[in-house]
Amino acid sequence: MSMGVRGSIVLVVEDEKESRDTLRELLELEGYQVQTATNGQEALDALTARGAEICIVLLDLFMPVMDGWQVIDRLRADGRLAETKIVIITSAAHRAPAGIPVFEKPLDLDKVMGEVQRLC
């Protein structure tokens, strides 16, 4: 397993604590810095504060406050989607927006890690 690049932050946006904690632990074991958000508004705040440092966003679609579709729409609207690498993690892969990699829950953690390593 290769170590994450120093300074590469993975933003995990997931409202389910167990899923969020599992992803955080796995990513940290691989050497990544991890920031978490429990809803889309927290994710946008994190991207605004640390945008250039965030290598990839693991984004759940179904969340309170602001869902994953709204996050993608906001990033598209202000031009940041082009520079923000997003991977969707969801139980409803068939509802995910086109053109963005999707992993269906329950997650295949090896595949998720492979994608993070590829994109970071």
**CATH code of the domain containing 65:** 3.40.50.2300
Q: Is residue 107 part of a domain?
A: yes
The stretch 19-31 carries a mean pLDDT of 95
Q: Is residue 29 part of a domain?
A: yes
Q: Is residue 4 part of a domain?
A: no
Q: Is residue 102 part of a domain?
A: yes
Using CA atoms, how far apart are residues 30 and 96, in angstroms rounded to an integer? Answer: 27
Q: Is residue 3 part of a domain?
A: no
Structural domain harbouring 50: 9-119
- pLDDT value at position 104? 95
- Report pTM: 0.92
Q: Give exposure, 43-71, as e/b (b: 16+ Cβ within 10 Å).
A: bbebbeeeeeebbbbbbbbebeebbbbbb
How many domains does the chain contain in total? 1
**Contact yes or no for 5/29 (Cβ under 8 A):** no
More confidently predicted of 7 and 102:
102
Task: Please write the tens of the pLDDT for every residue from 38-48.
Answer: 999 999 999 99
CA-to-CA dists, residue 69 to 15, 18, 55, 86, 94, angstroms: 14, 22, 20, 12, 13
The stretch 84-90 carries a mean pLDDT of 94
The pLDDT-based confidence of 2 (bands split at 50, 70, 90) is very low
Q: Is residue 1 part of a domain?
A: no
User: Would you give the distance in Å from CA 110 to the centre of its chain?
Assistant: 15
Using CA atoms, how far apart are residues 7 and 77, in angstroms rounded to an integer? Answer: 27
Q: Is residue 86 part of a domain?
A: yes
The pLDDT-based confidence of 7 (bands split at 50, 70, 90) is low
